[in-house]
A and B are shown apart, each in its own frame.
Chain A
């Protein structure tokens, strides 16, 4: 039962960490919005999906890569990857702002109850995914390989691959930058102020609408970055990939304590590792079962997630 885990431990661990970092960034999209609005942004999964297409379009249509062209090298490689990252973040960020304008802002101004915005968010996520379905004729879209998946070295029997390393370090860096932004910048402070007490923040002169738009933007940027890494690793997208990713990232956010940026970090990594270990030990068909049993157990003992509401100051 454990022979695969023992035999391939470091390969699995690396795969789990890189998957985990993708979860971390997507779950930021959920956790940021929840922290400020106390509402789940159900459209975040589709924001992610749109980001993946932004990444693919950059390499395929702007730089003209095809499935058969050779991967980029040197300066060109850096240029293409950074353009893809920027494009993906821009597409996802703008989609997030669009979602906020259409599904949240007006209803919020009218003072509707939370369920109305919940439905409008689900509605816009269906619109986003069906629109992409129509644009792509329901077909899956492969991404040309830009970053060659060279095996750099072998450590303890595990292949250390370039794309895994890039994903882990770049995603960690982006997470760190976003976290610092929320902690240190003036806007970040405003976001946290609104999160702690909306009315008090308003009385202190915080522009609520701008804070909320920025929150959506930051969540969207993180999700867009995740979409870029996802494409770099898996090289594949389809109009319906958002659902599975959204489910996983939302689970990660709840596991870590939704509304808490650090919670998203630990929740994402924990989930990534849990998924690969559970699949290796019990069989992939047990992955979802194991993940949700663990989630229920965690919530049973820590109802607010691993980091929950206890860490007020780090909350988004």
Chain B
């Protein structure tokens, strides 16, 4: 048995050497370039990473269709959305000199853990979904410059938008805010609470912090009832939000339920069923929200519907692909390309990064659940 493994390994190695040998002499190989996607591709958060990576793959497929002379390879870097895992996979990614740029990492914590390696390697990053404010704040140790960029709005824009959207049309809004103790939800909760101050007539009546693996929200609901809140804002992720909103409705509460982009996932109404109706979620429009044709084409090519952050992931991949087409085939020139980039997002917005890696827009749209589907109600102004 052992011997057989050894033999097959030897054959595989030999084949690999021959193949790389062949391809380097091939003409097409000169136009073969590699980019990477980093995000959670396994573990509890894998659905986010899979959705994002599908959009990256879709962008690559469209690019190769339009530019048949290029071959683009994608390296999948699985950080499970976990900073501890990210710090073990990032060194290898940074050391792989073929990789010209990274779409990702998906999550803020994993981004911060990966940053030292990518800074050293001069590897440009464009995250579709890392929204933590400190990553683009030069005054903090988390600062990701010059390599870090993102095509998603920051939480300091999302918090006030969420506060406004959640309380919209609610007379004498009494707001109760719940986070899930994650490094995404806790700061977002602070931005929501800060944003509430500028909403006329709204007041903060309480809050709670429930770990995202919890399934029993009875104590939190007891607090909500005691506080007399008529608006409940949850700043964590969709799967826990679904459990929470079900229990909230089962307890007889009619308070408005609102959530941030962590809840923004079509799985949310699927999991929560009728309890999710009329929930108010801030999020970013998906491909389907931009054009039904685009979504249909995506489904045909990828075999699944486009998921969360598909627009952002698609945009991020396109920036790198356009860079390759413009002849930026070293990490150095690619970084300069991204820094100077000015182009149009598939959403119609103009993408241009400021000196810290943020985009100029980052407007959040309001979504509400109607008949089990999250429906875009337009940009929150």
Which residues does A use to contact B, with CB under 8 Å?
3-4, 7-8, 11-12, 15-16, 19, 67-68, 133, 137-142, 144-145, 149, 151, 159, 161, 230, 234-236, 238-241, 243-244, 275-276, 279-280, 283-285, 287-288
The answer to whether residues A234 and B216 also contact, given A8-B222, A137-B50, A138-B44 and a CB cut-off of 8 A, is yes
Give the complex CA separation of A90 and B263 in angstroms.
35
Interface pair B226/A4, CB less than 8 Å apart: yes
Give the complex CA separation of A285 and B226 in angstroms.
18
B178 to chain A, nearest CB (A): 9
Please, how many residues of chain B have a CB less than 8 angstroms from a CB on the other chain?
39
Give the residues in chain A near B215, CB-CB below 8 Å: 230, 234, 236, 241, 244
Flag the segment in B101-109, B165-173, B238-246 that touches A.
B238-246
Give the complex CA separation of A142 and B245 in angstroms.
13
Beyond A8-B223, A67-B372, A137-B50, list 9 extra A-B contacts (CB 8 Å): A4-B223, A11-B218, A12-B218, A68-B273, A133-B43, A234-B216, A234-B246, A241-B215, A283-B209
The answer to whether residues A8 and B273 also contact, given A235-B246, A280-B219, A284-B214 and a CB cut-off of 8 A, is no
Give the residues in chain A near B226, CB-CB below 8 Å: 3-4, 7-8
Q: Of A11, A67, A141, A230, which contacts B273 at CB under 8 A? A: A67
Interface pair B208/A284, CB less than 8 Å apart: yes
Which A residue's beta carbon lies closest to that of B250?
A149
Give the residues in chain A near B225, CB-CB below 8 Å: 7-8, 11
Q: Of A151, A244, A283, which contacts B214 at CB under 8 A? A: A244
Interface pair A236/B242, CB less than 8 Å apart: yes
- Whether B46 sits at the interface, judged by CB under 8 Å, is yes
Q: Of B50, B222, B274, which contacts A280 at CB under 8 A? A: B222
Interface pair A276/B219, CB less than 8 Å apart: yes
Q: Of A19, A138, A145, which contacts B47 at CB under 8 A? A: A138
- Whether B271 sits at the interface, judged by CB under 8 Å, is yes
Which B residue's beta carbon lies closest to that of A11?
B222
- Whether B31 sits at the interface, judged by CB under 8 Å, is no
Give the complex CA separation of A281 and B352 in angstroms.
49
Which residues does B use to contact A, with CB under 8 Å?
42-47, 50, 181, 208-211, 213-216, 218-223, 225-226, 239, 242-243, 246-247, 250-252, 267, 270-274, 372
The answer to whether residues A238 and B239 also contact, given A138-B44, A151-B252, A280-B223 and a CB cut-off of 8 A, is yes
What are 19 A-B contacts with C-beta separation under 8 Å? A4-B219, A7-B226, A67-B270, A67-B372, A68-B273, A133-B42, A138-B42, A138-B44, A140-B271, A142-B242, A161-B250, A230-B215, A234-B215, A236-B239, A280-B222, A283-B209, A284-B210, A284-B211, A287-B219
The 6 A-B residue pairs with the shortest CB-CB distance in the complex, in nearest-first order: A279-B219, A15-B218, A8-B222, A138-B46, A142-B271, A67-B273
Interface pair A19/B271, CB less than 8 Å apart: no
Give the complex CA separation of A280 and B223 in angstroms.
7
Q: Tell which of B42, B216, B220 has the most Cβ of chain A within 10 Å.
A: B216
Give the residues in chain A near B223, CB-CB below 8 Å: 4, 8, 280
A37 to chain B, nearest CB (A): 29
Interface pair A137/B246, CB less than 8 Å apart: no
Interface pair B44/A284, CB less than 8 Å apart: no
The answer to whether residues A243 and B213 also contact, given A67-B273, A142-B272, A280-B222 and a CB cut-off of 8 A, is yes
B228 to chain A, nearest CB (A): 10
Give the complex CA separation of A238 and B45 in angstroms.
11
Give the complex CA separation of A280 and B222 in angstroms.
7
Interface pair B267/A140, CB less than 8 Å apart: yes
Give the residues in chain B near A161, CB-CB below 8 Å: 250
A307 to chain B, nearest CB (A): 25
Interface pair B44/A276, CB less than 8 Å apart: no
Which B residue's beta carbon lies closest to that of A6?
B226
B238 to chain A, nearest CB (A): 8
Interface pair A138/B209, CB less than 8 Å apart: no
Interface pair A285/B252, CB less than 8 Å apart: no
Which B residue's beta carbon lies closest to that of A15?
B218
Interface pair A240/B216, CB less than 8 Å apart: no
Which A residue's beta carbon lies closest to that of B273?
A67
Give the residues in chain B near A68, CB-CB below 8 Å: 273-274, 372
Interface pair B46/A142, CB less than 8 Å apart: no
Q: Tell which of B42, B267, B271 has the most Cβ of chain A within 10 Å.
A: B271
Give the residues in chain B near A241, CB-CB below 8 Å: 213, 215
Give the residues in chain A near B44, CB-CB below 8 Å: 138, 238-240
A101 to chain B, nearest CB (A): 23
Interface pair A285/B272, CB less than 8 Å apart: no
Which B residue's beta carbon lies closest to that of A130?
B42
Q: Tell which of A133, A137, A284 has the most Cβ of chain B within 10 Å.
A: A284
Which A residue's beta carbon lies closest to that of B216?
A19
